[in-house]
Structure 1
Amino acid sequence: MIGYEGEKKMKHVVAFDVSMGKSTMVIYDRYGQCEFEGEIEHTYPAFKTLNETLQSLTVQDGQAPEIVFEATGIYSKALERFFQKEGYAYCRINPLEANLQMASMRRQKTDKSDAHELAKSHFRVDREKTYQEDDYYHQMRALTRYYDELDHEITHLFNRMHAILQLSFPELERLFCTRSALFLNIVQLYPHPDEVLACSKTVIRNRLKANTRKNLSLARAEEKGMALLEAAKDSYPAISKDDVRCEQVRDFANRIASLKEKKEQLVQQMVELSEERTEYQILISFPGIGETTAVRLIGEIGDIRRFKNHKQLNAYVGIDIMRYQSGNTFYKDKINKRGNNRLRKILFYMVQTMITLRKKTQNHIVDYYDKLKTQPQRKPHKVASIACVNKFLKVAFHLITHNITYDYETAFTCS
């Protein structure tokens, strides 16, 4: 690297344009002149060489270089992990932000040109260093995303199972709660009414009791068995019991049961990781927030301390207000929905749970909902619910950043 004798040493800028398995790298000196342009593979030897280059620049300048790259989903994770492991601060910018910052400079788009423009724009844009979260938050995010994937798969399997049951034994869905373990066991045991009619009520009772994981009393098993027999007598299926789809629906029910069990294991794993964490204890202190909701909130929010205020948190969630006015034209205010839609969904249903528990607990979030619904210009349910999400985020941000558990009386002071 070229030194600058007798002059004040300043930081170099190292910029990366990331693609699958490799990155285009450029190095600019303090005068904004390119010193190096090249390509590095995302391999151990290449990262070792990169570390030597960055250390050389650090020695030369007396301080670590400025590092900037554009977030590209999974492809930039290896590069980011390298910086975290070696202790380098960096600026990770999202693609939309990068496009806005480089809009006046971009004429053609190639990996090399993008890397150069990232470096050049770094001299004129004041970029904050990316907040580096503890590995705990990365693990929680991965676990809650895994949980969501299982949830989507269960929903898909339920839809397919429903379609077949309407042909083989539609009365089952009216007789039992379709989300219960008992329902899934019955579908596996008796996907067709003829299979029920081929058994005595004693056999049905004993099989229900033996195959239901949760404790089912003998009397309860007999009651359900009798109801099943009556339903089988009235049923007129569209397919025979030997139809291959009966075996298929058995398989769907078995897979759903296994996936639901895996979801419970994931929640327990997240709880075990979180029990000693301040934000977990604070979240479960809110009325209406249980273990599952608390750990999923942590997984999607991450380290809440990286936000400067609750308004930044609102923007991350996607409930900040989008307002449009042009001349005499005014559009109704809406939330922008650009944020984390998974987190927004969790928060919305969390508020619904809080509302249903209003008679059992004291919760100022529910009080606020009731106020919005009873004021002269009553708010629609969804509008009032999103307003409650906003209030919850404001309170949660204050409590977590000040290490205070929820208390009904003191909650008003920070909302």
Structure 2
Amino acid sequence: MRTVIGIDVSKNKANIAITTDLVVVRESVISLDMLGFNELKHVVLQFGGNPEIVFEATGVYSRRLEYFLQQEHLNYHILNPLVAKNRIATGSRLRKNDRRDARRLAITEFTEHLEPYLLAYKQDPIYRELTDMNRYYDQLNEDKKRARNRAHRVLQLVFASFGASNGGFDFDTKLAWELLTLFPHAQIVREIGDLNELASQILMAHFKGIGPKRAHDAARKLWKLAAKNGDAVPVTSDNTRQMKLLADQILALEIAQDQQVSRMIDLGKSLPELKLLQTIPGIGSNTAIRLISELGDIRRFHTRQQLNSYVGIDTTEVDSGDHQSARHITKHGNPHARRILYWTVILMINPQMDNNHIRDGYQKRREASSSKKKLIVRQMDRLIKTILYLIKTNQPYSYELSPHSK
């Protein structure tokens, strides 16, 4: 006799369907708190103490249930949302509710897994913690992007020439935003009236890495830019205050990101793959820890295809009769990991980067390829293969031993 408990997790409650040999024997609703979890534990004990439990990953809501099952050492099968959607779908699905979904999850476990599902590889909790930390890092990055967009709008009113394409400051450097905290309006620079005084004020701000020479160079550039700037609002405008606040906000977000990465590296320094990934040209400590945080324990993947599917660069295929569609990546996997891998490949194919087989493969096919993006995705696949091999074999990267001739 085989018993499966299907659980449909919502925000504050969960529908439960207990199925024995494809027959639903009991249904109930529990709250997602300790009262509900203890009720679930009581049900588990009633059905032998170790029935199969299956539920869909629903973000932060299912995390509470998953943590409880881990603490109680109960076996569970957590489904990818796309897999769960395909399982639950029946006909036109005009009648959908949480009760039916719990039933379908339980019943399809019998048909999809003829033998009881067992979690073959359990990750160290450190990987889940790193994932949460990296998601916060991404949130900081999104906040910084929004703040920069607002800042660029205000800058057109108070100091448009500051970021001019010809001779302006580079907004990818910290110095540009630091200077805007001191001089959020071109009129402020013009009112100082003395180049040495301008350089002195920059020095007195004690910006990191700014000595007398750099301060003088920055002052001279500011002087020229302010002189030719066409103001849109007076220096007394509230836009001047907004510019300073936005520059301060962007700098604070950058500091918060740096601190978050440092915390992630401190947490993950015991992981052997952290050092292994840094032996690959183009992957520093920042990229390495963020890759680990999104890919998790890569040892749980047996093949490159499994890892590709997890990232979402596996290809679709529609071949029916005389019709055969073009192949595209599914993008069903982890978008955070996919983004990190994409920019890692962009960095690795840079001509100034150390020798690596990713750049060799890209340059070899560049002229023949009609799509740069498809070529980069192909190199993402090669990078995934390399990462999986290095971690599985516990070996550092070697250009001489890599398949760069293929």
TM-score of the two chains, using structure 1 as the length reference: 0.90
Against the structure 1 CA distance between its residues 333 and 287, is the aligned structure 2 distance closer, same or farther, given a 3 Å change threshold?
same
- 1:101 pairs with 2:87: yes
Q: Does 1:268 align with 2:262?
A: yes
Residue 222 of structure 1 pairs with residue 208 of structure 2: no
Shift of 1:228: 1.2
1:392 equivalenced with 2:383 (yes/no) = yes
| SS of residue in 2 equivalent to 1:82 | helix
> Is the 8 Å Cα contact of residues 134 and 290 (structure 2) preserved in structure 1?
yes
State the distance in 1 between where 2:177 and 2:330 align.
Answer: 40
For structure 1, which runs of at least 5 residues remain unmatched after alignment? 1-9
Find the aligned partners of 1:219 and 1:164 in 2 and give their Cα distance.
30
Q: Give me the whole-angstrom Cα distance separating, in 1, the residues matched to 2:60 and 2:352.
A: 46
| Percent identity for Structure 1 against Structure 2 | 32
Contact 1:201 1:225 in 2 (8 A): yes
Partner of 1:26: 17
| Structure 2 residue 394 is the aligned partner of structure 1 residue 403 | yes
Paired with 2:163 and 2:223, the residues of 1 have a C-alpha distance of: 14
Q: Flag the 1:306–1:165 CA change in 2: closer, same or farther, 3 A.
A: same
Corresponding letter in the other structure for 2:6: A
Any residues of structure 2 matched to 1:206-217 within 5 Å, and which?
Answer: 206-217=200-211
Instruction: Write the mapping of 1:10-409 to structure 2, written as runs, cut at 5 A.
Output: 10-29=1-20, 31-58=21-48, 64-104=50-90, 108-126=95-113, 128-130=117-119, 132-174=122-164, 175-199=168-192, 200-356=194-350, 358-374=351-367, 377-409=368-400
Q: d(CA) in 1 for partners of 2:383 and 2:67?
A: 33
Residue 327 of structure 2 aligns with an amino acid whose one-letter code is: D
CA deviation after TM superposition for structure 1 residue 414, in Å = 12
CA–CA distance in structure 1, aligned partners of residues 141 and 248 of structure 2: 15
Partner of 1:5: none
- The DSSP-based 3-state class of the residue aligned with 1:308 is coil
**SS of residue paired to 1:35:** strand
Q: Deviations over 1:341-397 (max 9, x none)?
A: 2222211111111122x44522111111111125xx345322221111110101111
Superposed displacement of residue 212, structure 1 = 4.7
Query: 1:413 Cα shift?
Result: 9.5
Q: Secondary structure at the match of 1:67?
A: strand
After superposition, the Cα gap between the structure-2 partners of 1:164 and 1:344, relative to the gap in structure 1 and judged at 3 Å, is same
Q: CA deviation at 1:293?
A: 0.9
Where 1:160 maps in the other structure, the secondary structure is helix
Question: What per-residue deviation string (whole Å, max 9, x for no partner) do you get for residues 265-323 of structure 1?
Answer: 01111111122212211111101101111111111111212222110111121212223
Are the aligned partners of 1:181 and 1:212 in contact in 2 as well (CA < 8 Å)? Answer: no
- The DSSP-based 3-state class of the residue aligned with 2:349 is helix
Moved more, 326-335 or 115-124: 326-335
Aligned residues: 398
User: Structure 1 CA distance, aligned partners of 2:88 and 2:145?
Assistant: 42
Q: Distance in 2 between matches of 1:372 and 1:128?
A: 43
Stretch deviating more after TM superposition (95-104 or 304-313)? 95-104
- What's the Cα RMSD here? 2.2
Whole-Å Cα distance in 2 between the matches of residues 206 and 35 of structure 1? 80
- Separation in 2 of the partners of 1:107 and 1:161? 48
Deviations 1:231-288 (CA, angstroms, capped at 9, x unpaired):
2222220110000011001100000000000000011111111222122111111011
Shift, 1:214, TM fit = 1.4
Name the structure 2 match of 1:7.
none
CA distance in 1, matches of 2:34, 2:282: 48
In 1, Cα distance between equivalents of 2:281 and 2:361: 14
Q: 2-side partners of 1:283 and 1:404: how far apart?
A: 10
CA separation of 1:373 and 1:75: change in aligned 2, threshold 3 A: same
TM-score by length of 2: 0.92
